[in-house]
Copies of this chain bind each other. A is one copy, B any other.
Amino acid sequence: MASIRDVAVRAGVGIGTVSRTLNNSGYVSEETRKKILEAVEETGYKPSAIAKNMIRKRTGIIGVMVPNQEHPFFAKVMKHMENELYKQGYKCLACNTLDIINRQKSFIDMLDSRVVDGIISCVDELPDFSGGNGRAIVSFDRNSDAGVPIVRSDHEMGGRLVAELFIKKGCKKVCQFTSGFDRKRTANIRHDVMKEVLEEAGVEVVSIITAWDALSYSYNKDMVRKYWDIIETVDGMMTTDIGALSCLSVAQKMGLNVPKDLCIIAYDGTDITELTYPELTVIQQDCPTIAKKCVETVLNMVDGKEVPSLELIPVKLIERGTT
């Protein structure tokens, strides 16, 4: 593998001149310039990013840490993050925590060992130290008690929109899958708000606590089956996209009429919610904007700039066929 030295020797110049030529920094005569470009061609020289990183003390890589990138919401948001990072000249390292504590830790370690310049993190338990020491880390859709800035959807708004729609549709008893109220999931905000607004209006609310890592498809379907005796007593259901798809399919199998017998609202609003019949009514999280804000924030932190401690992204109600 040719190095800058090989090029310099071949062109009969010093390595500084080669560097200057290739980076367009400082003056280089047209003649030497040509000689150098020729030598680059002949040697097949490609500058080593590693050596450059050594000097910049940066890798140009941001880690994106999610529970599971196969989940449609995370798949979507990670894609948009990769895209935003790309636009800014950064690369995106994919980290699935898979709820394994060692994985979480090892990805945070990459920040300290400077494999990545920063991390966008969606995990429940950030180590306490994470925020300190000038680490560039932003928490996406999760609370954090470590002084880490947070970017998330406006779940208060989401919970309210859901509740209002159920009320408008005349629902009397609503069920929701929640991930338990003792965790740092910001998602719980929507459940709290929905419950509050609904109960104020005299609508009964049943909350079924799912495992806090309920991200897999099969788990969701199992939960719907397991709690079907409860679900069939309600006339409104709110859960994530996957839960909603599960719910819809089981309801159809059981001969229920959706939305007549049961209104379903899917939270997240990824594209799969448009591929059912009837199409799912959703609260849609604005993934492009979430991604943009996360990237903007983490890159500002990398540059040592001040960043807001909380950014709220509005959600959108899209009424379709299940309400």
Residue of B at shortest CB range from A247? Answer: B275
Residue of B at shortest CB range from A63? Answer: B91
A189 at the interface (CB under 8 A from B): no
CB distance from A232 to the nearest CB of B (A): 15
Max chain B CB contacts within 10 Å: which of A47, A51, A70, A83? Answer: A70
Q: Which of A251-290 contact B (CB under 8 A)?
A: 252-253, 271-272, 274-277, 279
Q: Which of A65-79 contact B (CB under 8 A)?
A: 68-70, 72, 75-76, 78-79
In the complex, are the beta carbons of A271 and B57 less than 8 A apart?
no
A181 at the interface (CB under 8 A from B): no
Which of chain B's residues have a CB closer than 8 A to the CB of A221? 274-275
A197 at the interface (CB under 8 A from B): no
C-alpha spacing A153/B292, complex, angstroms: 36
CB distance from A270 to the nearest CB of B (A): 8
A93 at the interface (CB under 8 A from B): yes
In the complex, are the beta carbons of B249 and A110 less than 8 A apart?
no
Partner of A271, one of B82, B91, B218: B218
CB distance from A301 to the nearest CB of B (A): 15
Residues of A within 8 A of B (CB): 1, 44, 46-51, 53-54, 57, 59-61, 64, 68-70, 72, 75-76, 78-79, 82-83, 86, 91-96, 98, 103, 110, 112-115, 133, 216-218, 220-221, 242, 245-246, 248-250, 252-253, 271-272, 274-277, 279
Which 8 residue pairs across A and B have the least CB separation, nearest first?
Answer: A217-B271, A249-B277, A245-B275, A75-B75, A252-B277, A49-B113, A46-B112, A70-B79
